[in-house]
Structure 1
Amino acid sequence: MVWRRAFRGVREQAHDARAFVRFLLADFADVDDVVQVAGELVANALTHTRSGAVGGAYVLELRRWRCGVALAVTDQGGPAEPRIGYGGFAEHGFGLLTADALATWWGWCGTERSRTVTAVFHRRPS
């Protein structure tokens, strides 16, 4: 199953993006983790890319299969590449640290014009 939805690049839409994920994954064991990472990836898109500029947008995509979920956020790009911020006086990068801690795998691809950050979650054994 695949679901994809575009959101306006305004902070008020972040709640709707998280609600979209929660609704579609209501019966997924790790839904809270996926929603948390979705919020972090959306915040990153709004803060660090042109998606957060006036008229900006981003696309959130969910792919679900029997034993997992993939969450992807595609933004409108920017000058810096996504990277994890570690300790010290780093002001940014903790959203990706959260993704790194909660997801089975995460990564990104793209250019300055558009990037997609993806996080994969494998179902916990019951």
Structure 2
Amino acid sequence: MLNKEDRIIELLEEILKWTRFQGMQRVKEVLLDVLKTDKEKIAYHYSDGRGSVEVARLAGFKSHTPILENWKKWARLGLMEPIRVRGGTRYKRAFSLPDFGIEVPRPKGGGKKK
């Protein structure tokens, strides 16, 4: 028979499991709602600490400005995490698209391998 503390831990683990499951379903909905184009999916996927110019090139954008705008928007939604780099802030994706069954299109342009 479980003691009271063990039973509480068991119940908390069960609650965490279901909360995580519900959260993951919601994350997938938000990702699909926000990342509508192949360019946006590529940009999100390759936002792993790379610079905005490189991410823009990989996604097929002519300028890195849309990347900077998307990073800020995605960060407000909790989809990105800011990371400090020399000279400013970059962003790193908080979730992996393939983990949610979302296909990542092939990059449009060249970029540094990472």
Taking structure 2 as the reference length, the TM-score comes to 0.30
Return the TM-score normalized by structure 1: 0.28
Q: Rg larger in 1 or in 2?
A: 2
Pick the structure with more strand per residue.
Answer: 1
Q: Which has the higher helix share?
A: 2
